[in-house]
Structure 1
Amino acid sequence: MTERNLIYPEDFPVGVPPESATPANGNAYRLVRNDPPNAQDFCGYYREPYLKRIPQNPKPNFFGTSMFRDLAQTKVAREEHKPQRDKKIAAGTLSPEFGVVSRENQVTHFDAWLKENTGIENVFSVEE
């Protein structure tokens, strides 16, 4: 296997990803627009098409990609947030080459700070 030199986006500010983040791993769910998912489906929040502006001094999670560990919680998030309601749920397995992740919160949500051009979209498939 050829080792790739993967890097984080150049527009990540200092402190992103945070030092507290750990290597990506394990099963994950992501709300996506496309079936099959494409690279744009894994952009950070700050690159979402509906976002109008970047706030001053955003926290690191603003640059993360939102994911869940639990399918049921992913469904709840889709229903609770109007911009997400038309999205599909994709499942996949994370690995360290994709980047790093935050700790999960009580509803299994976490942020992933993804490196560029990893092909993460190829390990996710739409489940519903």
Structure 2
Amino acid sequence: MWPEHFPSDCPPENAKNAFGEVYRLINHDSPSPDDFCSWREENRNKQCPEGMTECQICGISVFTDKADADRVIKRIPRFRRAKPALGQLTAELGVILHTPSRLSQSHHTWWIPFGAEPWAIFQIVDVNE
């Protein structure tokens, strides 16, 4: 069910079935597979960043509050050109865990099962809405 690169204890036991509306920051004009790669998938040969677990970096970041997604776009330089996309998660799309950060109380980590196509359920939303 999970990609090969996930550690054996990942996703964590306290993660819940994916559900509800979430925002994902994407880099293309419409959501694509490249917008749903984890840090680990993008950095296969790098060491896990300090303060993170291997399991965390196998998940992707999403937000339940659009204001938090917008805040990240405005405050973190590597996201300045990102666009918020909205999707409705269901249990078939994996599991999710609330992982608030200093910048975003609505931050969640989402672990996507092997073979899922999450980009198909996301639509870019207007930053001014």
Describe the superposition over 1:5-58 as per-residue Cα deviations: whole angstroms up to 9, x where unpaired.
xx2110101211111111000000000011210112111122236x87132895
1:18 corresponds to 2:19? no
Unaligned runs of 5+ in 1: 1-6
Which position in structure 1 is the counterpart of 2:23?
Answer: 29
In the TM superposition, what is the alpha-carbon distance from 1:98 to its structure 2 partner?
A: 0.8
2:48–2:57 contact (8 Å) kept in structure 1: no
Structure 2 residue runs without a partner (length 5+)? none
- Correspondence for 1:55: 48
Matches within 5 A, 1:27-106: 27-48=21-42, 53-55=46-48, 59=53, 60-105=55-100
Using the size of structure 2 for normalisation, the TM-score is 0.84
Letter in 1 for 2:95: V
* TM norm structure 1: 0.85
Quick check: 1:35–1:125 contact (8 Å CA) kept in 2? no
**Per-residue deviation, 1:119:** 1.7
Does the CA contact (< 8 Å) of 1:12 and 1:63 recur in 2?
Answer: yes
- Other structure's SS at 2:56 match: helix
Which portions of structure 1, spanning 4 or more consecutive aligned residues, are displaced by more than 4 angstroms?
none
Q: Is the 8 A contact 1:45 1:66 kept in 2?
A: no
